[in-house]
């Protein structure tokens, strides 16, 4: 008797955030790294599942998918800081994703970025939902991160509760985020799997590049006498702490050390940095170099005195691992997950204590043995955060949810 072929369960990774300005941020790095990591796993580790990437979602539930998860990196014309673009994406995800999932025949969907929880998942034909929790910073610091457009302090927590309690399983990118899911929503550990973020070690490496010296020359930097910060400038990033710490360090024996801020800034953010630098008296010691490629950033890490990242809170802190992998000492804090990620292989200080931040900078600037120790320890630590491990542990979550 003829037997029909067994249908493999279908897992859909929502890659549509790559069509928004999330592609240019940490969320975009997470989506791309995970998708490419899963695609690179040996075929036998992906066997028994059909893995698809959702690359386009229309208002009516129309869709495009790829079966090569490494074949999509988003639209090239993504604009930074365009709220309309993000809102359109969010409403399409809310109202149309369940329709698209039913048409695809999806058994599991993985929502890789926050916001825009799909409505009426019952319409998705029994599709189960895996959600990545990057952090719950909005609830930890509601005065700063729950504005009216996010529901405010009244509705914002309700929106977040629905996002995570409606999930069939949650991927938390740190133990800290996993604990917060229990603390704020009472979600038990049986519904959460911690899967650390990762970096591509072929890109972030201590091996000197041929253009490293040119990168320093291009930005007017002296080898080993500058600090690197890369990222946004919102409240938790503690720009004022960096500036005050730098001022203290320069008064305390590190008078030639400068701070390099990497990242595309609009006029308002540039003005904020310059104002804070002026307030701290370090205007001449701060360089805003704008957007830099990953290759140039790796070179800046490699030749730096340290990566300075004194954030008040992070769900993971990916730049800590990037810098360590490149052989840069790291000055950071224990706040959020940073102590968990950096461990004892960085200098840790209180983000609200600029004297401690400055002392850490000055200590590194005057102690080559300490710099060498942190470089070596950081390289070893960063090696734990591999793309292969992240992909393998995430695929294990899909199997758990599918029961295969």
Query: What are 311-369's pLDDT values in tens digits?
Result: 999 999 999 999 999 999 999 999 999 999 999 999 999 999 999 999 999 999 999 99
Q: Rg for the chain (alpha carbons), in Å?
A: 22
User: Which range marks the domain in which residue 284 is found?
Assistant: 212-382
Mean pLDDT of the chain: 93
- Quick check: 295 pLDDT over 80? yes
- Given this model, what pLDDT does residue 132 score? 98
pLDDT band at 82 (very low <50, low <70, confident <90, very high): low
181 and 217 part of one domain: no
pLDDT attached to residue 292: 93
Residues 235 and 136 in one domain: no
Residue 203 lies in a domain: no
Res 79: pLDDT: 59
Look at residue 123 and tell me if it is in a domain. yes
98 and 42 belong to one structural domain: yes
3-state helix, strand, coil in the chain (%, to 5): 50, 15, 35
Helices (H), 207-343: 212-218, 239-251, 267-280, 294-302, 318-325, 338-342
Neighbours of 319 (CB within 10 A): 26
Quote the pLDDT of residue 81: 61
> How large is the average pLDDT for residues 286-291?
94
Within this chain, do residues 163 and 243 fall inside the same structural domain, yes or no? Answer: no
pLDDT value of residue 24: 72
Residue 2 has pLDDT above 80, yes or no: no
Rounded to two decimals, the pTM is 0.93
What per-residue confidence (pLDDT) applies to 5? 52
Check which CATH number belongs to the domain holding 162 and give it: 3.40.50.2000
Give the pLDDT score at 1.
Answer: 45
- Asked if residue 162 and residue 61 are part of one domain, the reply reads yes
- pLDDT value at residue 4: 43
Residues 111 and 82 occupy one common structural domain:
yes
What is the model's pLDDT at position 247?
Answer: 97
pLDDT digits (tens, 9 = 90+) for 234-261: 999 999 999 999 999 999 989 999 999 9
Residue 67 lies in a domain: yes
Asked whether residue 230 is assigned to any structural domain, the reply reads yes
Task: List the Cα angle 216/364/291 in 5-degree steps.
Answer: 35
Residue 6 clears pLDDT 90, i.e. is over it: no
Q: Does the residue 268 lie in any domain? A: yes
Give the lowest-confidence range in 19-28, 124-133, 155-164, 345-354.
Answer: 19-28
Q: Which residue, 98, 172, 199, 123, is CA-closest to 336? A: 172
- pLDDT at residue number 80: 60
Count how many domains the chain has: 2
Residue 131 shares a structural domain with residue 246? no
The answer to whether position 5 is within a domain reads: no
Q: From residue 114, how far is each of 137, 189, 299, 300 by CA, in Å? A: 12, 20, 31, 31
Q: How confident is the model at residue 309 (pLDDT cuts 50, 70, 90)?
A: very high
Predicted local distance difference test score (pLDDT) of residue 265? 87
Whether residues 352 and 390 share a domain: the answer is no
pLDDT at 335: 93
Looking at the fold, whether 184 and 275 belong to one and the same domain comes out as: no
Q: Is 246 in contact with 255 (CB distance < 8 Å)?
A: no
Per-residue pLDDT, averaged over 40-51, amounts to 94
**Based on the domain organization, do 100 and 193 belong to the same domain?**
yes
Q: What is the mean pLDDT of residues 54-77?
A: 87
Percent of the chain with pLDDT over 90: 82
Q: Is 204 contained in some domain?
A: no
Clarify whether residues 285 and 153 are in a common domain: no
Asked whether residue 246 falls in the same domain as residue 118, the answer is no
Structural domain includes residue 72: yes
């Amino acid at each position: 008797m003829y037997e029909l072929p067994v249908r493999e369960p279908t897992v859909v990774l929502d890659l549509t955030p790559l069509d928004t300005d999330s592609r240019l941020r940490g969320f975009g790095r997470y989506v791309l790294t995970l998708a490419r990591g899963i695609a690179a796993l040996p075929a036998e580790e992906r066997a028994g599942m059909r893995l698809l990437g959702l690359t386009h979602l229309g208002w009516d539930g129309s869709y495009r998918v790829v079966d090569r998860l490494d074949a999509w990196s988003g639209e090239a014309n993504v604009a930074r800081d365009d709220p309309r673009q993000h809102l359109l994406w969010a409403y399409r995800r809310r109202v149309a994703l369940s329709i698209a999932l039913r048409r695809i025949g999806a058994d599991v969907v993985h929502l890789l970025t926050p916001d825009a929880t799909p409505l009426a998942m019952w319409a998705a034909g029994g599709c189960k939902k895996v959600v990545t929790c990057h952090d719950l910073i909005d609830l930890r610091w509601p005065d700063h991160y729950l504005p009216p457009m996010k529901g405010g302090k009244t509705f914002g927590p309700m929106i977040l509760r629905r996002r995570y309690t409606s999930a069939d399983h949650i991927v938390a990118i740190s133990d800290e985020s996993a604990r917060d899911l229990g603390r704020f929503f009472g979600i038990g550990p049986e519904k959460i799997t911690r899967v650390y973020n990762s970096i591509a070690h072929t890109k972030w490496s201590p091996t000197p590049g041929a253009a490293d010296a040119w990168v320093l020359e291009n930005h007017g930097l002296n080898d080993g006498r500058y600090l690197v910060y890369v990222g946004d400038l919102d409240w938790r990033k503690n720009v004022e702490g960096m500036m005050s710490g730098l001022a203290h360090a320069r008064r305390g024996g590190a008078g030639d050390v400068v701070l390099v801020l990497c990242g595309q800034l609009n006029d308002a953010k540039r003005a904020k940095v310059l104002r804070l630098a002026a307030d701290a008296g370090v205007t001449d010691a701060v360089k805003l170099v704008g957007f830099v490629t990953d290759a140039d950033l790796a070179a800046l890490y490699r030749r730096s005195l340290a990566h300075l990242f004194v954030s008040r809170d992070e769900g993971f802190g990916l730049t800590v691992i990037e810098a360590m992998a490149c052989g840069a000492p790291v000055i950071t804090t224990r706040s959020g997950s940073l102590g968990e990620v950096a461990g004892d292989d960085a200098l840790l200080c209180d983000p609200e204590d600029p004297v401690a931040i400055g002392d850490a900078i000055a200590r590194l600037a005057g102690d080559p043995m300490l710099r060498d120790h942190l470089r070596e320890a950081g390289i070893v630590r960063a090696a734990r955060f591999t793309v292969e491990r992240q992909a393998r542990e995430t695929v294990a979550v899909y199997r758990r949810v599918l029961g295969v």
